[in-house]
Amino acid sequence: MISEAVAPKNFIRLQNISKTYDTTVVLDIEDETIPLDEIVAIVGYSGSGKSTLLNIISLLDVPDGIHCRTGKFPRLTLNLNNVCVEITYTKRSSWLFFEKVKYDFDVIISENGKQRKSTATEVRAEYFGYVFQESLLHPNFNLLDNIKTPLIICGTMIDDGLQEIIKSSELDTHTAKYANEISGGQQQRAAILRSLVKNSPIIVGDELTSNLDQDHAEQLLNLFQRSVKQSGKSFLWVTHNIHLAEKFADKIVTIKNQRVSVEENPKNVDRIFGLLHNNSGNLLEKIPVLGEQQRDSRWYEKIRYYSAYALRDLFDKFKPRADFVINWLSISLVLLFLLSMHKIGYGTDQFLEMKLSDPRINNFKITPSSTCADNMLTVKDVSLITERVGAENLRHISPVYKASVSLVRESDQKRFPLSKAAITFDDGDKIINNLFKETIDKYPFINDSENYSGIILYKGAIERYLPKLGLSEIPSSLTITVNTVTRKIPVLITDSPLPSNRHAMIRSEFYLEAYHDGIYEQNPVIAYILAYPMNIHNTIPMMDILTQHQDCSEKEYQVASALNIRKKIEVISEIERLMGDVVLLSLIAILLLSVAFVILTIYRSLNRKRKEIGVFLAFGMTKKSFIFFYLIEACLLWTTVVVPSIYLFEHQVNPRINEMIMSSEHIGNMGRISEQYPTIVVDPAMLDLPNSVLMGYYGGSLILLIGLFIFLIWYTTRRLPVALIKDS
């Protein structure tokens, strides 16, 4: 025990410190002070608690929450350069991970009469440098970045003397190499330089000579002895080699029967130091001391450092690592599967909507209500209906005049009735132009205001009359009777059924001319009005608006759809809802399974890095830096995933799904709809997922991936550094 009369100015004081593993007490310290500013060797038998004591002193581990004998709370005090760091321990538990009660650090720093709260991470970053029993060089960094690790983490760079110290240690030709490319001795030397460049006042070493022979061990300890003498650092060192402790230590800390005591080294340390100092053949003794000129590390230095880590973690000389391949495949397959599922549902729905919105089947007939006093339809009703349902919801609206159309056999002028109500249309009719846009130039009567005498006939209706007309094939013109007027006019034959299941369509002007030439005495009579909704989803609301009597001043109408569209839409909507529910549940299930798989793969990857994370924690890396550190890797991983997955989806998956949806071989009845109405051509681009959906998936996957990394890093760094380093 050091007497109070010679109590050191700089020291570490341990009060009520005990450590129990299971039921075995390995440390029992009631009140002990360990001096600093010199070499202190901690010695004892194997398993006596040497490393445990060093880990508690250097804030890599925590003691028991209550002292095993006194029942008092533990306290650790670090007094260094007029700064007092008081460390107590608080309970920590988490319901999220069902953790047992653990203890964490509660730090108060007193300086110049002022107190402030701090963290163990800040204390480790500012006051401690570490040399571990193994070199624990990070495999993703080259030798130079490994040596500079504490400087980058703590945000303080020392340029003066850095290259000189690396050159003097004979590592200057290996700085670009990785740990697996150099010898064990070179790794150990790099680990030593890593602790020295930090310029921390206290360096701790745990059995750092256990893997070295006597000569190399003495060279190593000579280096630390020189550093302590010349720069005023303190070196706390755990060893099982009593001879080395006697030769190099200023103070000896012994652990026997869980008790700790501090004694002066009985050897003449100054004389031994002088002899070693004159040994010019000692390589490590030549290593110069770093300069004291410090600067803050620049942002691009951190970016380069973190990017080098991420690239090395994912690729080994441009060859993807196994963890990267697993993560890449899992995320890519999840993205492509989810996009494909969404695409199938969305594309099929769009295809159905476009087919069912075809004006030849998506139209309804409007007649006056039986309760309406005015049961006649006029051209004015067209304007009233358009205003009531909204012009933006209509493709077209047209009156259908009462007309009788018959085919005439030229040999004897015998008539064959074809339609009692031919559909009339105007020039520029959107529906007609859409139906016959490929052949419209051959039939001027469709749009030419000067030449409107012509008729459109459904092929299926006229073919059965050909033998009666004495014709073997359909001619380009036919003799037609409209009402009572007979005329030979051009004819357009269509394979497609005409709107409202009619067989004939004529221009309104032609009908009116035939009407005036006829025997009718009253004005032309509108049989009904045909309305063509813009979309299948507009149909029922428009029909409801017209049939609901909202105001006495408004005219009432009766509405009938051509193919009982209301029931069809209701059934289709129900099917869509059921399909939507199934697809949604499938997506949720697959998403949860996929997320779980990605979490496991990322956790597996991070779990392999726990020793490296422990080293970063020991050197003072904050959680914020950890998150930024691994965010670069997450973004790099996401970028390598999203670029090929976008290409695969856009150029391979998406076209094949479009082909499947539009092919009769795969979707049966929908294909027959396409054959029945060949003039309606679905553009595959209309089936593509909107960009907002694609960006939602890719943006969501980035957020999810970043969230997983942040969560897993947060969870991993909750563990104490010693637990990660020792893989406990």
Each residue's pLDDT tens digit, 566-594: 566 665 666 566 556 666 666 677 767 76
| 616 neighbors 626 (Cβ within 8 angstroms) | yes
Residues 530 and 583 in one domain: no
> Tokens 């302590």, residue?
228
**Residue 527 placed within a domain:** yes
Q: How many domains does the chain have?
A: 2
* Alpha-carbon distances, residue 379 vs 104, 364, 397, 398 (angstroms): 86, 17, 11, 9
Residues 690 and 716 in one domain: yes
Q: Residues near 233 by Cβ (< 8 Å), separated by ≥ 6?
A: 37, 200, 201, 202, 203, 227
Residues 396 and 530 in one domain: yes
* Alpha-carbon distances, residue 293 vs 176, 199, 231, 619 (angstroms): 25, 11, 14, 20
**Residue 157 placed within a domain:** no
| 290 neighbors 158 (Cβ within 8 angstroms) | yes
Residues 630 and 596 in one domain: yes
Last residue of a domain, one of 511, 531, 564: 564
Residues 341 and 374 in one domain: no
Report the sign of the C-alpha dihedral through residues 184, 185, 186, 189, in that order: positive
Last residue of a domain, one of 564, 579, 610: 564
Residues 540 and 465 in one domain: yes
Q: What pLDDT is stored for residue 75 in this prediction? A: 92
Residues 442 and 485 in one domain: yes
| 504 neighbors 405 (Cβ within 8 angstroms) | yes
Q: What pLDDT is stored for residue 661 in this prediction? A: 76
- Written as six digits, the tokens of 379 are 């051209």
Residues 452 and 594 in one domain: no
**Residue 597 placed within a domain:** yes
**Residue 380 placed within a domain:** yes
Residues 468 and 606 in one domain: no
Residue 727, Cβ neighbours under 10 Å: how many? Answer: 9
Residues 401 and 518 in one domain: yes
Q: What pLDDT is stored for residue 290 in this prediction? A: 55
| 151 neighbors 198 (Cβ within 8 angstroms) | yes
**Residue 521 placed within a domain:** yes
Exposure letters 559-580 (e unless 16+ CB within 10 A, then b): bebbeebbebbeebeeeeeeee
**Residue 135 placed within a domain:** no
Residues 403 and 438 in one domain: yes
**Residue 461 placed within a domain:** yes
Per the structure, the complete domain to which residue 599 belongs is given by 319-357+570-725
Q: What pLDDT is stored for residue 125 in this prediction? A: 85
216: Cα within 13 Å, side-chain hemisphere: 12
Q: What is the rounded distance in angstroms from the CA atom of residue 313 to the CA atom of residue 608? A: 11
Low-confidence ranges of the chain (pLDDT < 50): 1-5, 97-98, 268-287, 519-521, 664-679, 728
Last residue of a domain, one of 508, 531, 564: 564
Q: How far from each other are the two terminal CA atoms of the chain, in whole angstroms?
A: 33
Q: What is the rounded distance in angstroms from the CA atom of residue 418 to the CA atom of residue 671? A: 30
Q: What pLDDT is stored for residue 510 in this prediction? A: 84
Q: What pLDDT is stored for residue 77 in this prediction? A: 92
**Residue 605 placed within a domain:** yes
Residues 666 and 609 in one domain: yes
Q: Where are the alpha helices (DSSP H) in 409-563?
A: 430-435, 459-462, 466-469, 508-516, 536-547
